[in-house]
Amino acid sequence: MSGSGGAEGAAQAAPDDAPARPARARWVTAVADRVPAKWLGGIATGVVLISTAAFGGLEAVAVPPLPELSAGETFTDAALEMTVRHAFAVDELSDTRVTAAPGERLLVVVMDAENLDEDPRSSAGTGSLSDVRVEGMPDAAPTIARVDDATYSPWLQPGVPAELMLTWAVPASAFVDGDDLRVALPTAHKQTGKYFIAGDYWTDVSVAAHVTLVVEDLDRSDAE
């Protein structure tokens, strides 16, 4: 009897001899058990990013400047070859299909354009020449007409160059002879429709290049 009693006493004493688990460790384990594994991965990633940023490891990537072109230089994007030739201001020009209101004049940009896509394309469609803009003026699409026959919003056939007039009605004092004009040329990406959208269309339109040229006033007294 005494032998078994001693064994029982030893067994009961064993837990008292083991080091007690700290309360904080038990709390951390309990919390960790309740946090999803994917959260732990995200937390770890955040800690790494914060640490990297603190030591200068996350530096902003420099965005390359947009191309700066002059009159007569060709730029290709959005499956269009675009060459801005010249610009002029005039009181009226019927071939442009634009009428200036009182206090306005017409600003006309003449350019060559060639459709590099395999399909015919409207010059007035999204992602096309309708997205050419004049810097410093309201965000308005130009009225587009051919120079040779004044066709309004012409279609551009694949591989066939066209000389076009892009026209805006602007305040009469906006441009005078000799002013610099900055024209923004577009970029866009062609998408093929799926499900509820049929055919091809152009998206992600943005500015791809700038062209700087000098405005000529065709109504000035010494204009030829």
Per-residue pLDDT, 190 = 85
List 214's β-bridge partners, or say none.
180
- Averaged pLDDT of the chain: 81
Per-residue pLDDT, 196 = 59
Kindly report, residue by residue over 127-163, the tens digit of the pLDDT: 999 999 999 999 999 999 999 999 999 999 999 999 9
Contact 210, 184 (CB under 8 A): yes
| pLDDT for 18 beyond 90 | no
Report the 10 Å Cβ neighbour count for 95.
16
Per-residue pLDDT, 203 = 87
Per-residue pLDDT, 2 = 47
Kindly report, residue by residue over 155-190, the tens digit of the pLDDT: 999 999 999 999 999 999 999 999 999 999 999 998
Q: Would you say the C-alpha torsion 125, 216, 171, 147 has a positive or negative sign?
A: negative
Domains and CATH numbers, the chain: 68-217 (2.60.40)
Contact 96, 146 (CB under 8 A): no
